[in-house]
Structure 1
Amino acid sequence: MLPTKLLDEVQKYIDGEYIYIPRKYCNKKSWGENTETKRYIDHRNFCIYKEYKNGISIKQLSEKYYLVEKSIQRIIRQEKNKK
């Protein structure tokens, strides 16, 4: 499939081994774009921030969403910075 001259050059470096050749133009999607995960997490984070603004404590949010308090604090800070 490859031109003989090119194949000869490649064989100088890799003879009988596997080689990975990445795509030239890769339309790689961001994390979560192939599934609903990113949208779910964005919605969850919005809800956490909204509940925090309505008086729910970080400890309560941590227990409700099964996240450590530091993660809840980070989410609140990130959502606050979006505004």
Structure 2
Amino acid sequence: MAYLNAREVLPPELLKQIQQHLDGQLIYIPKKSAPRKPWGSQSGSRSLLQQRNQSIRQAYRRGQSLACLANQLHLSEDAIRKIIYAEKARSQPSGPAGKAQP
């Protein structure tokens, strides 16, 4: 980020007002805030992980064991279990207190 001379980029009236408060001092002006993008959406990591997790769930439904999937994907059995059961938790309807309905 390069420094800019305020005299070259600001209207004279605004420059005078700023000089009243910060005469000769450096000031940082942040960018306008923009909504943040979700993690991994720009690089594609998010969709790659979603595809990987979906293939894990499909393989598990076809009968592959947790140990086999963990070994193939270099993940712990606990990580595989969380991926498999995360889908089940999302697909179950929840009641008014956030608890699953019987």
Q: Mark yes or no: TM-score above 0.5.
A: yes
Identify unmatched segments of 5+ residues in structure 1.
Answer: none
Q: What does residue 6 of structure 1 align with?
A: 18
Which gives a bigger RCO, structure 1 or 2 (Cα 8 Å, sep 6+)? 1
Misfit runs of 4+, over 3 Å: 6-9
TM-score (norm 1): 0.71
Q: TM-score, normalised by structure 2?
A: 0.60
Letter in 1 for 2:42: N
User: How far does residue 74 in structure 1 lie from its aligned partner after superposition?
Assistant: 0.9
In the other structure, the counterpart of 1:35 is: 43
**Sequence identity of aligned pairs in percent?**
23
**1 CA distance for matches of 2:20 and 2:78?**
56
Q: Indicate the RMSD between aligned Cα atoms, in angstroms.
A: 2.3
More helix by share: 1
Structure 2: gaps of 5 or more residues: 1-8, 92-102
